[in-house]
Amino acid sequence: MSGMMMGRGGEERDMAMFVNTAGGRASSLEVQNHKRVCARGFGNAEKRPAVRAVHRDRAQFGSSTRRVACHQNRSLDMLGEGVKTAVLLSGGGRSLENLIVRIEQKTLTNVEIACVIASKPSAGGIERARARSIPTHVIRPRDFEGEDTVQRFSAAINDVLDRHAVELVVLAGWMHFYLIPTRFEHRVINIHPSLLPSFCGKGYYGEKVHKAVLDFGAKVTGCTVHFADNQYDHGAIIVQRPVMVEDDDTVDTLAARVFEEEKNALAQAVQLYVDKKLVLEGRRVKFAQEAAL
């Protein structure tokens, strides 16, 4: 996250930039949300302990250790107040549905799905979100073809995230490269249907992963939830769950069993994040016993 200091004048300039990037259409609620996030420390290095993606605590953990924390405790009712989370998807939205159901059942707590971003209007996840009155946005990569495609595509995503005052981003079946800005470092998590670092990288997604597992003759596969960075399937690993490969497995049967583990792993990783129980030491993510900073 940026280390830039921001006083009252800086906050006013930030608000002007926010309204401008929203095309002058920012609602009063969006402006208030943005003010709330800024007040909680996104632009002020002196006020960051309440809201930070990564917190350095040298006295307790040493200079190479970072504590991941991003919120203040608030009450949650159904899909109401909680850590504002955006879900990015390209398909049917099964992982989104998994998170929604767990929030509704209160087995995933202090999480609010603030918005859903889809990479195509036909993505089934859009209807799942709209059925719960979750704001949806379609941002198509093909609308940004030409020079600086990735940068402009990612900037459009960031604009939506800022308008909804998003604190955590979940890539759930997201099929496109998203260039993560510094302010979202260690605030974006991805679910991948294999045990990283195996069967991963550009072109490895969905059924292609499971076919590669079977073609290689692997005996164990699984899923991984990790912090996303600006390389494919590269960021620090948060949660992994193994799945044994059976002799009679097909792509479909293997994918079904892996997805059952994906549902648990993703919910676990999100809960650990919002509970401030993730400690980052180099590339190793450890679970903190005490959440307080």
Decide: 186 and 238 in contact? Cβ < 8 Å: no
Give the domain range for residue 109.
74-184
Domain at 248, CATH number: 3.40.50.170
Last residue of a domain, one of 128, 151, 184: 184
Catalytic residue numbers? Answer: 192
Peptide bond connecting 197 to the previous residue in cis, omega within 30 degrees of 0 = yes
Q: What integer pLDDT is reported at residue 84 of this predicted model? A: 98
- The secondary element (H helix, E strand) that includes residue 43 is none
Does residue 117 lie in a domain region?
yes
Do both 261 and 172 map to the same domain?
A: no
Alpha-helix residue ranges (DSSP H) falling in 115-206: 125-130, 149-163
Over residues 41-63, mean pLDDT = 35
Listing DSSP states for 83-132 in one string gives: EEEEEEESS--HHHHHHHHHHHTTSS-SEEEEEEEESSTT-THHHHHHTT
CA atoms of 208 and 215, how far apart (whole Å):
10
> Does residue 210 lie within any of the structural domains?
yes
239/252 same-domain check: yes
Please tell me which residue, 143 or 40, carries the higher pLDDT value.
143
Q: Based on the fold, state whether residues 99 and 171 are members of the same structural domain.
A: yes
Token pair, residue 82, equals 């909680």
Classify 188 as helix, strand or coil. Answer: strand
Name which of 125, 17, 134, 6 is nearest 82 in CA terms: 134
- Average pLDDT of the segment spanning 92-102: 97
**For the chain, how many structural domains are there in total?**
2
- Binning pLDDT at 50, 70 and 90, where does residue 203 land? confident
- C-beta separation of 88 from 174 below 8 A: yes
pLDDT for the residue numbered 19: 33
More confident residue, 194 or 56: 194
Higher pLDDT, 126 or 59: 126
Residue 12 lies in a domain: no
Helices assigned H by DSSP within the chain: 8-21, 28-37, 58-61, 94-104, 125-130, 149-163, 207-216, 251-274
Contact 162, 86 (CB under 8 A): no
Contacts 24+ apart (CB under 8 A), 33-42: 33/84, 33/164, 33/165, 34/162, 34/163, 34/165, 35/11, 36/165, 37/165, 37/167, 38/6, 38/11, 38/14, 39/11, 40/72, 42/1, 42/183
pLDDT, tens digit (0-9, with 9 covering 90-100), for 226-249: 999 999 888 999 999 999 999 999
- Are 166 and 89 in a shared domain? yes
For the chain, give the percent of residues with pLDDT over 90: 65
Examine the pLDDT at 127 and tell me if it is beyond 80. Answer: yes
Distance in angstroms (rounded) separating the CA atoms of residues 175 and 64: 32
Q: Provide the CA 184 distance to its chain's centre, in angstroms.
A: 9
> Is residue 53 one of the residues assigned to a domain?
no
Domain boundary among 184, 218, 239: 184
Last residue of a domain, one of 127, 152, 184: 184
Cα 245 to Cα 198: distance, rounded to the nearest angstrom: 14
In this prediction, residue 81 carries a pLDDT of 66
Query: Quick check: is 14 in a domain?
Result: no
Instruction: Mention every residue, 6+ apart, whose C-beta is less than 8 A from residue 137.
Output: 115, 116, 117, 118, 160
Q: Are 185 and 87 a contacting pair, CB within 8 Å?
A: no
- pLDDT at 79 (0 to 100): 52
Q: Band the pLDDT of 182: cuts 50, 70, 90.
A: very high
Residue 192 falls inside a structural domain: yes
With cut-offs at 50, 70 and 90, classify the pLDDT of residue 276: very high
Share of the chain above pLDDT 70, in %: 71
| Residue keyed to tokens 């939830």 | 225
